[in-house]
Amino acid sequence: MKVNRGIVLAVLFIFAVTMLFGCTGGNTPANSETDSTGNSTEKPKVVLWASGSDNVRVLFEKVVGEYNARPESTSVVELQFLMSGSGDQKLSDRIAAAKLAGKTNTDFDLIAENGSALAEYVQKAEGDLFVPLDFSKIPNFKNVKMKSGFYTECVVPYRGTTVIMAYNAERLPNPPKTWDELDKWIKANPGRFAYNPPGSGGAGGAFVNLALYKDLPDEAKVSTDAKWVDQWGSGWEWLKSIHPYMYKSGGKVVYPNKNQGPLDLLINKEVDLIPAWADQVLTNISQGTLPESTKIYQLDPALSGTDVVLAVPSIGGGAEKTYDFINYMISPEAQKLCLETIFAVPVIDGSTIDSKAKDMIKDLDISNFTVISNGELSNKRNEYWDENIATMQ
Amino acid sequence: MEKKTWKTYMFIVLMLAPALILTFGIIIYPIINTVMRSFRSSEDGSFTLEHYTYLFTDKMSVDNIVYTLWIVVITVVLAMAISYILALYLRFSDSKISRFIGTIYLLPRFIPSLVAVYAMITIIRDSGFLNRFSQLFGYNFKPGLMYNASGIIVMNLWFNIAFATMIIVAALSGIPDSIVESARDVGAGKISVFLKMILPLSFKDVVIAMTFVFMSNISSFTTPYVMGGNNPVMLGIYLRKQFSEYGNYELAAALSVVMFVFSSVSAVIYIYTNLKEKEWEKTI
């Protein structure tokens, strides 16, 4: 009797296990079936990896949805999004780990990343990470006006983005335009300026970067050579000198975490001036969380920005199946989506895009932002900042 | 007989196999991996204790450890005190108010943590609800709770009081009214009933609640990340910095082990308390 019961249960167990694996196996044919109803040939799957703040996620969900819904698309794109500053392992680390482990057939088919961050990818993966693209297979590429600064033969820029200064025009009619004026303004108006810790988001990162690099030669800005770390001294001294005049809470200076931190302070009128990503500020204004009186401008020398590019890692499924989606991203319709969803600076001629949102970005001159690309030196920067500036009383 | 036993054992192993494989794959193997990595030099991979030495000698790191333990201990003590009083009230009062509180006190358990944190921020930040409310009366009250330990503790209490109260209420419900009444009959005062009967009878559950609150707070991330300051930081934040901001993977592994050990102390107390159960009941 006991044996019988045992057998019955064992059968049940095996049944359960097959069910479990059966489910995962059963999905694939179902998927291809739906594909084949829309299209006679089965479309290859392209896994797109992207990271950033939530607005970027919203953008990609829209663009990927639009793309997959078009009957003429020749592949199916699946989005893998990593929220920045959420404690997740960085995309660059994941790809480097896969490549260094000797894997060649991963699902890192296509990545969307800041042009200035690519050096970090290549450095971590120890070279030869991105495959050169065949631009003849991307017909829209001839319309792209923005030229990428790094790995030009391997990337297609699809938007520009930059850190700017955001302020409230009602409380601050004449914001400081240069770094000298900024220095005087911060010291004359204690507690009205804030930036986020450089490790917690790119806005604070760009502000600290410019403080460190604005007086250094241009070659330093795009070098991953550790010798430039020694040249950061005067920048650090300046950041230390403005520390006592930063935003205070509970009697102590604080640097709120993440790009959203200083934005929240601006929204709540606790500060008057912050460095922030242009797209985040414009999105907040259009949603009404920041008042209409919020204005943006660029400092001189300009805070850093970057082109955001699509690139194909050599350990993915090859460039061929990604061309159609890349081509779509730089088409006028996708560029319009980028502009209207996150106020991205278009990479193609603005006159080909029909949108009211163009007015909001007219002050953003994409040509004048500073490009800083220093690879893993940004880790050094974050560590120094945390040890020497966050600890100041 | 022999055959049957063998089959039964096989059967037990078979039934446990999925859980064991899962546990091994996603818990035990990563732990072993992390422990091994924490002893490896980041330069040449040789055996070293440098990461642990750094964690317990570097000023920033020691500050972070002390800060974390301080916040967690304050949280545990305050959460227990408040929960115990609340639980006593819920157990021994039978008014409308107590029944109402009894229905809603678990609500915080059902609110996603990030939502709760931001909700709290809109109230306690220097430009938040408290500040605006005070402005109605001509004051400019700035709570000063954001970006420091006080805010984190307030938020921790919000999360943990409901949980701790739930456990203590269950323990207090297990004390029959008849015991309390018979004690009162032979002349025991309220205070001596509490000290000699209620407290000893619920002590085990208080310890269990304490260990849970301790463990869930020592590794917390969301609350200190959004509400905490820049320095010192809680260990969860420090771990993230080491891992994804500085890229010091070996040091991050060592820090994980240290956090694991802190939690284990509490886990040992929990297991010990649970095993003691029978003896406890004997003494009553």
Residue A19 above 70 pLDDT? no
For position A144, what pLDDT does the model report? Answer: 86
What pLDDT, on the 0 to 100 scale, is given for residue A117? 84
Q: Rounded CA gap, A4 and A314, in Å?
A: 55
Using a CB-CB cut-off of 8 Å, the residues of chain A touching B229 are 252, 254
The pLDDT-based confidence of A30 (bands split at 50, 70, 90) is very low
- Find the closest chain A residue to B3 by CA distance: A3
Other CB atoms within a 10 A radius of the CB of residue A284 amount to 21
Q: What is the pLDDT of residue A25?
A: 40
Average pLDDT of chain A?
Answer: 84
Element containing residue A310 per DSSP (H, E): strand A305-311
Measured in angstroms, the CA of B127 and the nearest CA of chain A are apart by: 6
Mean pLDDT for the stretch of residues A25-39: 41
pLDDT, tens digit, 9 for 90 and up, residues A179-227: 999 999 999 999 999 999 998 888 999 999 999 999 999 888 888 888 8
Residue A311, number of CB atoms within 10 A of its CB: 24
State how far Cα B116 lies from the chain centre.
17
Nearest to B126 among A89, A270, A391 (CB): A270
- Helix, strand, coil share (%) of chain A residues, nearest 5: 50, 15, 35
Exposure letters A138-165 (e unless 16+ CB within 10 A, then b): bebbeebebebbbbeebbbbbbbbbbbb
- A379 to B15: CB separation less than 8 angstroms, yes or no: no
DSSP H helices in chain A: 2-38, 54-69, 91-100, 118-124, 179-188, 202-213, 218-221, 233-242, 260-267, 278-287, 323-329, 332-342, 377-388
- Number of Cβ pairs < 8 A linking chain A and chain B: 82
| Nearest Cβ partner for B230 among A9, A13, A254 | A254
* Beta carbons of A279 and A200 less than 8 angstroms apart: no
- Which residue ranges in chain B fall short of pLDDT 50? 1, 280, 284
8-state DSSP, A161: E
The mean per-residue pLDDT over the stretch A288-309 comes to: 88
In sequence order, the β-bridge partners of residue A166 are A274, A296
**What's the pLDDT at A4?**
65
| Model pTM score | 0.74
- Does B140 lie at the interface with A, CB-CB under 8 angstroms? no
Residues of A in contact with B128 (CB under 8 A): 268
Q: In this complex, which of A256, A269, A386 lies closest to B127 when CB atoms are compared?
A: A269
What burial class does residue A133 get, using C-beta atoms within 10 Å of its C-beta: 0-12 exposed, 13-18 middle, 19+ buried? Answer: buried
pLDDT computed for residue B169 by the predictor:
92
Which chain B residue is nearest to residue A13, measuring alpha carbons? B15
DSSP B81-105: HHHHHHHHHHHH--SHHHHHHHHHT
- Asked if A307 contacts A159 with a C-beta cutoff of 8 angstroms, the reply is yes
**Confidence at residue A11, expressed as pLDDT on a 0 to 100 scale:** 65
User: Residue A360 pLDDT > 80, yes or no?
Assistant: no
What's the pLDDT band for A3 if we cut at 50, 70, 90?
A: low
User: Is residue B243 within 8 angstroms of chain A, CB to CB?
Assistant: yes
Once rounded to an integer, what is the mean pLDDT over residues A272-288? 90
Closest by alpha carbon to A244, among A235, A253, A236?
A253
Whole-number pLDDT of residue A266: 93
Choose among B60, B127, B144: nearest Cβ to A250.
B144
A142/chain B closest Cα distance in angstroms: 38
Res. A306 pLDDT band, cuts 50 70 90: confident
pLDDT band at A63 (very low <50, low <70, confident <90, very high): very high
The structure tokens listed for A29 are 């044919």
Q: Which of A1, A224, A270 to mutate to test the interface with B (most CBs of B within 10 A)?
A: A270
Residue A85 pLDDT greater than 90, yes or no: no
Q: Which residues in chain B have Cβ-Cβ distances shorter than 8 Å to A270?
A: 125-127
Q: Looking at CA atoms only, how far is residue B97 from chain A in angstroms?
A: 36
Query: Is A276:A166 a contact under the CB 8 Å cutoff?
Result: yes
Residue of A nearest to B10 (CA): A6
Selected residues 56-115 of chain B with any CB under 8 Å from a CB in chain A: 60
pLDDT band at A20 (very low <50, low <70, confident <90, very high): low
Answer yes or no: are the C-beta atoms of A323 and A134 closer than 8 Å.
Answer: yes
Percent of chain A residues topping a pLDDT of 90: 40
Distance in Å, alpha carbon of B20 to nearest chain A alpha carbon:
15
Rounded to an integer, the average pLDDT of A273-281 is 91
Of A197, A256, A391, the CB nearest to B60: A391
Give A257's contacts in chain B (Cβ within 8 Å). Answer: 225-226, 228
Report the residue from A199, A255, A269 with minimal CB separation from B241. Answer: A199
State the nearest Cα–Cα gap between B222 and chain A, in angstroms: 9
Q: Given CB atoms, is B7 within the 8 Å cutoff of chain A? A: yes
**What's the pLDDT at A379?**
86
pLDDT bucket at A53, cuts 50 / 70 / 90: confident
Cβ pair A75, A325 in contact under 8 A: yes
What pLDDT sits at residue A346? 84
Confidence grade of residue A26 (pLDDT, cut at 50, 70, 90): very low
Query: Does A325 contact B at CB distance below 8 Å?
Result: no
Percent of chain A with pLDDT over 70: 87
Q: Which helix (H) or strand (E) element contains residue B134?
A: helix B129-136
Cβ contact B127–A270 (<8 Å): yes
Residue A27 above 80 pLDDT?
A: no
Asked if omega into A262 is within 30° of 0 (cis), the reply is no
